[in-house]
Chains A and B, each alone.
Chain A
Amino acid sequence: MRLISAYLIGLVFGAGIALSGMINPAKVLNFFDVAGSWDPSLIFVMGGALLVTFVGYRLVPGREQPLLARRFQVPTNSAIDTRLVGGSALFGLGWGIAGFCPGGALPALGTGRSEVMMFVVALIAGMLLTRLAMKMSQRTTNTPSSQHA
């Protein structure tokens, strides 16, 4: 039951990514190209997603617990530090170079296009190497790790 619902939620998420145009790097990069072939569509993606999530999130936590899990697990880390800002800035740099973000690329894998596969392999390499580096520096400095937003 939990797995079926997670699968269906993934399907809805992926369908949203595809329908919205977030799956298409040409469209994503044109959104950011205000000085060139600007395509403002992504404002509507962000607007639609934020509106539904903002309203939905305010209705959900009235419950004691989620329907199929023991508890709500939201990030508790509130530190605004160099790692958050620097990491996010790096993400922006890579997004601007490649045109894919993780949420766009994962559903795009389903089209079987080799370009998506190359992006995702490089993405995973960057993620795993960074995890490894963080683990090694933690062992020496013992700084607390943060959760994913």
Chain B
Amino acid sequence: MSTKPILKVHNLKVYYPVRKGFINLGEPQFLKAVDGVSFELNPGEVLGLVGESGCGKSSLGKALLRLQEPTSGKIELGDSDFLNLHGESLRKIRPQIQMIFQDPYASLDPRMTVEATLKEPLEAHQLWDKNEGPKALNQILDRVGISNKSLQKYPHEFSGGQRQRIAIARALVLKPKVIVADEPVSSLDVSVQAQVLNLLKEIQKEFNLSMVFISHNLAVVKYIADKIAVMYLGKIVETGSTNELYSNCQHPYTQALISAVPIPDPKIERGRKRIELRGELPSPINPPRGCTFHTRCPIAKDSCKISPPELKPYQRESWQVSCFEVK
């Protein structure tokens, strides 16, 4: 494969300093939200980033757009060293990577019309044409399924699903190469989720977009992603193609995760054996020594408590698992 990845993330870390009182005695503590994450995204590919709360997927998503500055690591966006850009040069490269946020009620400025919201990105980069502009906007709105008469309306006049479509339109307006979608359908009703998911899928194919799709909902991710990365306490524990992972995942956490997802079929549910995890999610400020998952892992051995495992290929280069018990 000679196609170069459009996004390369290398050993990304996002640590939040934790203040212990006014006078800092002893070592500074950090909340390790993202603790050394690396992955590559090829053009036209959709990476599903899954994990439960506290795994760091949202912080990772924000870091990819530098809405949260990473503590260390490297991001290559196309040919640019993304993290080393600042000020104007950073601003100018932003059109290449756009975001769709989770909450459709909070991601649109309530005091701006649809037109104002959609033309703002264009104006910010001197791409707004007074004559052709509104027509182009209507075209995009049409593509996302919002009627032409909406340009002068305000967000509160739309339903959640419609607002999310407008948010998608905004993400498309600058013709980005990469879209980071942070739980884009989690706040929507089930019957509307499918609509928006289908829209995302179509748009992704039509514009050959690369996407990082962040979600805690494994079924939703399966539908849209080509490959998956499973996160736990800031690290990727397993990554591979969607088919491989859902049919034969190797990491005990991934296995527990998949076995926990309820299936809307009573006969299947009755016959299922759930893998139960012991205990609770450890604090990301003081993660366990060794493999951070060992405190809850059903197959943990003593050797797992000593040093953390690394991502190693399983059967092929593209399938990586971080577990001592997986060969």
Q: Do A and B bind each other?
A: no
